[in-house]
Structure formats: C-alpha cells, structure tokens
Homo-oligomer: A and B are copies of this chain.
Amino acid sequence: MSSQPIANQPPTQDELDLLNYQSRIERPVKMKIPELERNERLRHVIFSGQFTVDMLEDLADTADKIRVLSKSRSGQDFLLSLLHHKRAMLYFTQPSTRTFLSFMAACQILGITCNEVRDPTTSSETKGETRFDSLRMFSSYFDLIIMRSKLAKLAESCAYLMNDLESSGNRSVPIINAGSGADQHPTQALLDIYTLQRSFQFAEGKTSTVATRFEELRRNYPELSKGLTNKVYGFCGDIGRGRTVRSLASLLSKYEGVTLIFIAPNDPTLALRDDLRKLLLDRGVKTLEVESFDDSVDGVPVIESLDALYMTRIQKEHNAPGDAEKFATIDLSRYKLTANLVARMKKYAPILHPFPRDQHFGEIPPEIDDDPRAMYFRQARNGMWIRSALLASVFGVDHQIARFFHDEYSEWHHYNEDAASASTA
C-alpha cells in the first residue's frame, strides 16, 4: 500500500486493490459518512468526523449505564449475555498494548469472544496473499473486525470492501478503526470526549447522596455551566504530531462556544499544523496559539483560564533526521506540568493525557497523580466503557441496555446515587 509500483514492473494486486478504492477515499468526508451508516446508526467506525454531538451524547449515556450495570452481578450477567454469540477479530498489525487491551475488555464486558492477529506478516501473506483476501477470510470467521494498521487508509478501504460484499449479497461485517497510521484514531477521541463529559457533570464522586459539586463550584465560578459547550480547552506539547489532539480538537469544534488554546513551541514540527488550523477557523472556532502557560489571553495567564487541559508526550520516535538537534535548542521544559502550575488551575479543571506518558521527559510528574483533577488514569477505564458503548451501538443492543437499566433502576434518584459512587470505579 505504501510502496509505489517500481518502474517497468506491473503493479501487484495489493497495489491495484488500493487504486480501486482511491477515488472513494479522496471524496469529501460528508459524502462518505452515509456509506458508513445503516439506518442512521454507525455501521463502520473509521474516522472521528463520523460522530455528531447527538451521537456523542447517546454513547456517553450508554457508557454510563454499562458502568453502573457492571457494579452488580445481575447487571454484569445481563451485559455478558448481550453479545455472547458474537466473535471479534482484533487485527493489530501496528502494536498498541493499551488500545488492544482496552478493546479486549470492552468486548468481554458484552460477552463478545475475542481473537487476535498481531503479527504484521501472517503466514498467508508470505505466501503471496493480498491484504484484502486476508481480511475477507477474517470476515468469514468473525462478526466484527477491529483493526489497527500503519497504513493510513486501510481501515477505510476495508469498510468499502465490506460494503461491496454486502451489495453483491455476500457476507459482510462491521469494521472499527483502532488507529490507522498518523491519520485517525476515532475511539481515542471518543474516550477523551467521554472523560470531559463526565468531568463536566460536576458530580461529587465520593458521596452517596445526589448532591453534586456543581452548586458549590458556582459560588467561585459564577459563569460555570454543565457540559462541553462554552469552555476553554488547552492542548500542550507535541501538537503537530499528536493524532489524538487532532481528533479531539476536531470533535470539540462541533460544540457551541468553545475556545481552543494550543501551547506548543513555535516550531513547524511541534506547532499546530495548517490543515487543522484551517478546519477550526472554517468552523468559526476561537483558536489561540501560545508558547507558554504563562502567556496572557485577554489579560489572564493561559494556565489560569483553562476549563480543561490536555497534555501530550513529545513523540520523539517520529523525529525526522535533524529534529533531535533542533529540539535541543528549544526550552521544552515549558511544556511540562508542575505542581505550581496545577495549583494555579481552576479548581475543577480536569487534566487529561492520552498515555503513555514519558518518564524520561516527564510531561506529567507523578506528584500530580493524587490531585483530584488528574483524570489520566480514569481515562483508561473510561475508554473501556465508551468502547463497550460503541460496540453495543454498532450491534444495535444499546436500546436493550437502556430498557434493562430502566427496569433495574427505575428511579432517577437511585441512578444518580450509583452513578456518583461509580465515578471512582
């Protein structure tokens, strides 16, 4: 897929297959989205642009219910029975322990049996099999393919293959993109959004009453509102190469009244890229770029103005030749969080990080881990719940979850109690 046909050699079938999908891949996103849906429901999950604000709210609602149900044995047994008859293939030719295990757990919560292929070269490929023959084999044995690949458009192409099979009356299964090259990682964006959604409910995690922190916070922050709209989001670190920053910023831009502040060195590799800046401007999002947490925005230092902070790792494994030398001349220490900076943040502002964090660079030192605003460990568990919700939606059992939940937790009061006590689960 990545290789160009060598001059004077006929193209391989792998190359021809990709050319076959090229024209569909190059269409505007808007034209593609309907092909990835069935009956206004996600069929294939390929890029984060597929998620509407309504979908994000529905998915969060399902995830909240799955989380609460998972606290009782009867709820667990119900969830485990839902998709007990489904078998998933996790085709992870680009390694990622974290994403892999998160999807495994998400599947297992709903009873889905998991299978995996993680070796980039399966034995069949060494025998000359095309990628699409391999993928079609997987679709023969399994009911869902969750795939992660270095090839930027493989997941999207695979969704079109499945659509073509469906059209010709053949077996076809849903495709979920678990990361495709530097391109898309839609379920990571989903878990980031879900973590923000939960944070901005302002529920009091540790109490068993329905009282929430919201009223208390409003005394200090009179303009504070629930939900993701009208908030200031900061992104710090490797903005240029951060696929998760890209996807999350793009999703946040769909919410009303948001401000996005990018805190990064003024360096073409690390700073905001032109295409994302253009996308945000086109959508009319207030977008700011600064070089330090101490830079002022409307007279207030950035660190004090944020409603949420998204930290990232400097992805040195993607350094181009010369980058290391160039970065040595930049004061990168400004893109590390410190206890002093955290002390200046708003009392409720969640700190996120897509993880892993880098112990050697230290963008988030461990002394911050115990701060109640540190959300990065909860993000992992949130990722599991929201991926379960996504699977439930793709297989159309989300309504069953809502019904069961309603029967078990008929009073809202009761639910809120459990949701509150679940927030540390």
Contact = CB atoms under 8 A, between A and B. Distances in A.
Given A101-B115, A171-B424, A380-B140, A133 B85 contact: no
Residue among A95, A169, A317 with the highest chain B CB neighbour number at 10 A = A95
A225 B297 CA distance: 84
A141 B370 contact: no
Residue among A113, A117, A126, A142 with the highest chain B CB neighbour number at 10 A = A113
Nearest to A131: B359
A356 interface: yes
Given A170-B377, A377-B140, A80 B73 contact: no
Contacts of A150: none
A19 to B, nearest CB: 13
| Copies of this chain present | 3
Contacts of A136: 377
Interface stretch (A102-110, A182-190, A195-203, A324-332): A102-110
Contacts of A168: 370
Contact of A424 (B126, B130, B169, B424): B169
A102 B142 CA distance: 10
Nearest to A133: B356
B425 A129 contact: no
A127 interface: yes
Contacts of A101: 89, 115, 117, 137-138, 141-142
Interface string A204-224: 001000000000000000000
Interface string A116-142: 010000111111111001101110111
A317 B127 CA distance: 8
Contact of A313 (B128, B358, B384): B128
Contacts of A76: 85
B141 A13 contact: no
B141 A384 contact: yes
Nearest to A94: B123
A136 B366 CA distance: 13
Contacts of A334: none
Residue among A108, A137, A141, A355 with the highest chain B CB neighbour number at 10 A = A141
A5 to B, nearest CB: 13
Contacts of A380: 137, 140-141
Give the size category of A's interface with B: 35 or more
A360 interface: yes
Contacts of A128: 313, 356-361
Interface of A: 12-14, 73, 76-77, 80, 84-85, 87, 89, 95-98, 101-102, 104-105, 108, 113, 115, 117, 122-130, 133-134, 136-138, 140-142, 168-171, 206, 313, 317, 355-362, 366, 370, 377, 380-381, 384, 424-425
Given A97-B122, A140-B377, 12 more contacts: A80-B85, A98-B137, A101-B117, A101-B138, A101-B141, A105-B142, A108-B113, A126-B317, A128-B313, A128-B356, A128-B358, A171-B425
In the complex, the 8 A-B pairs of residues with the closest C-beta atoms, listed nearest first: A129-B356, A128-B358, A13-B359, A76-B85, A140-B380, A105-B141, A124-B356, A97-B122
